[in-house]
Structures are given as structure tokens and as C-alpha cells.
Amino acid sequence: MGARLSYPEVDLKGKVAVVTGGNTGIGYETAKALARMGAHVVIACRSQERAQQAIERIKLELSEAGEVNVEFVQLDLSSLQSARDFTDNFIAKGLPLHLLILNAGIAAVELGRTVDGHEKHFQINYLSHLLITLNLMSVIKSSGPDARIVNVSSYAATFGKFDPSNMDGSQRYSRMGFYGNSKLFQIMSMYFLQRRIAGCGVTISSLHPGAVDTEISRNFQDSTFWKTVTNVVKSVGVLRSPEKGAATTINAAVNPEFKDMEALYFENCKVTQPVRSARDEATQERLWEYSFNLIREYVDTGRLASVGIELPSIPDTENNHEATGSTGEQNLTTTED
């Protein structure tokens, strides 16, 4: 028998939620569920057209529930400037933020760089989401109590590792390995950020949604191997629907049982332990310093200081060349449209 996937229906009237990649797959089902419970939902993705289609679909599917409040704000996770612009645009609305659902991502794509010169999985799945979290942290903290940040990670974190000498894949690269890296970093960021805001009424969690049949599989349709694996998995019926795949995300976001419970990791709507490598505090701290120094110029340091997060020191660039990354723009295929 499959895992029992469930979450409580709670009253979210007056609450505001941001869902990255909320136009499709798990993100769409998450956005719809939060809207059904009464939240004002912001769908953050690249394509306004696809977002508007998702919003109209949500309104149609929830027509019997009455008026729902869902809007679009543009976000391209392959650009740090876009991530900064997104947070500025959200803050300019003057809204609180009770739920930040970091859902969008890509999986097992070919080696390539973002416009900022970073390996695609690293920036789209992890680094831009970290930037968004930092720039919105003061809003989230002021919106509590019981404001929550939820990272949609993956079991693929098991295959990941933090290797500062090969973050861009220039020495060696595997599609699933670097996808796993980005998902590992999402879990590690839960720990290093939660330590820095402990006891402030904001909780951060991570989760594995299960094997879900979503559009993310389009990211590796160029690979005969991965396309075959996907087709075989689909044929034996082990993939969850996006609706069931979203259950763990929604449970982490709304279940009153988890109020004030910090740095929880979920699978099948239950609290469990993530991979051991994600729980090593020394490595978490190295990742924090490494990551922050890549996004420092895009961080609103004044807002960050207001929530008591101490900034890492600026590295010696002569001795930290591995953190600079290469530059160059390439076309991207992502599920955060």
C-alpha cells in the first residue's frame, strides 16, 4: 500500500503565500490548495502567459468555493537580478508574507550556465531561492507568529555533495549528481538559516515530495537514458499525481501541529531525517559562506541586519577563485515558467 498523504484544512484568510513555480505541477496544486483555504497566493514564475492560464484554471476549479485571490509576479530564477527585482516588487506591494514555498526547479539537464555564470541546477534550484529568502526574511519575520518557509527538496539529495572545487561542473559533471547537489543544498540551507533566526516565530522546513509525474521530466527529454527510465517508471504506476505530490508541501506549510517546530524534514507528510550529509553543521556553515559571497551584491543587507543575521566576511578573492564562476548565457529549459 502507498503512503497515506493528508493535511488538515485550515483557515488561511488574511494570510499571504508565495509559491515559486506555482503555475504547474506540484507548485500549481500547492497554490490551488492554499487559495482554497483562503490565502492570498502569489505565483512567482517566468511566463506571465502561463501564470495567467494557471490562475484562470484555479479560479475555474475553485468556482464553488467563492472568490479566490491569486496573482502573478514575474521571477526568472536563472537571473540573480530577476530574483532581487522579484523581492523588491513584492515588498513594494506592502503585503505581509506568512508562507514562502520554494518549489520551482529543474532536473537532470545538460551542463550549462545561467546568465550569472553558475551551473544551472545550483542557481535555479538553490542559489536564487536563497537570495529570495534572505531578501524577504524581514517581511516574513514581521508577519508572524507562525510564518513558514518550505523548501521542496528531493530524495536526490542523497546523491549530492558539497565540493567547492567543482561547483560549476567544469572538472566533472553528471546530470543527476548536480541535481542532487542542488537538492542537498536546499536542505542544508534550512539548517544554517534556522540557526540564525531561531526562536523568532519563523520556521524553515524541507521535504521530499515523492516520485511525482510533473512537467519537470521535460528537462531531460533529450537524454535517451533518462527518457527511458521515466517511461518505465510511469508504465509501472509508481509516480504520484501532482495533487498527491503536493500533499507533503501543504502539510508542512499549514499543519498547526508543526507550529514553532524548527528545521523539520518531511517525507510522506511525516517528519523524518534527511540524508546524513545534509546534517553536518561544519559543511552547512561552509556552504553558507560560499553561497552568500556569490549573492552578496544582490542582498538587501540593511533588511537582513534588521533580523539579526550576521553577514559572512568578504573573502580574499586571490584565495577564493573557485567562488567566482564563469560567465556566459545559455538557453534554459525549466519548470519554473
- At residue 65 the predicted structure's pLDDT band, cuts being 50, 70 and 90, is confident
Residue 318 — very low, low, confident or very high, per pLDDT cuts 50/70/90? low
**pLDDT value for 96:** 98
pLDDT at position 240 is 82
Give me the sheet containing 16-20, strands edge to edge.
69-74, 40-45, 16-20, 99-102, 147-152, 202-208, 264-267, 270-272
Could you give the domains of the chain? 16-214+241-323 (3.40.50.720)
Q: Are 203 and 148 in contact (CB under 8 A)?
A: yes
Active site residues: 179
- At 331, the pLDDT band (50, 70, 90 cuts) reads very low
Residue 190, pLDDT > 50, answer yes
Residues 270, 251: Cα–Cα separation, whole Å: 9
Give me the pLDDT at residue 321, please: 45
pLDDT for res 111: 98
- pTM more than 0.85: yes
pLDDT of residue 327: 38
Sign of CA dihedral 28, 335, 171, 173: positive
**pLDDT in the model for residue 239:** 81
pLDDT tier, 144 (very low <50, low <70, confident <90, very high otherwise): confident
Cell numbers 577564493 label which residue? 320
pLDDT (0 to 100) of residue 329: 35
pLDDT at 222 over 70: no
pLDDT at position 204 is: 98
**Which residue would you say has higher pLDDT here, 171 or 318?**
171
Amino acid at 265: Y
Instruction: Please check whether residue 25 is in contact with residue 212, taking contact to mean a CB–CB distance below 8 angstroms.
Output: yes
The per-residue pLDDT for range 29-51, each reduced to its tens digit, is 999 999 999 999 999 999 999 99
Residue 89 has pLDDT above 60, yes or no: yes
Per-residue pLDDT band at 332 (split at 50, 70, 90): very low
Average pLDDT, the chain: 90
Over residues 43-62, mean pLDDT: 98
Report the C-alpha gap between 189 and 263 in whole angstroms: 10
In which residue are the cell numbers 546534517 written?
279
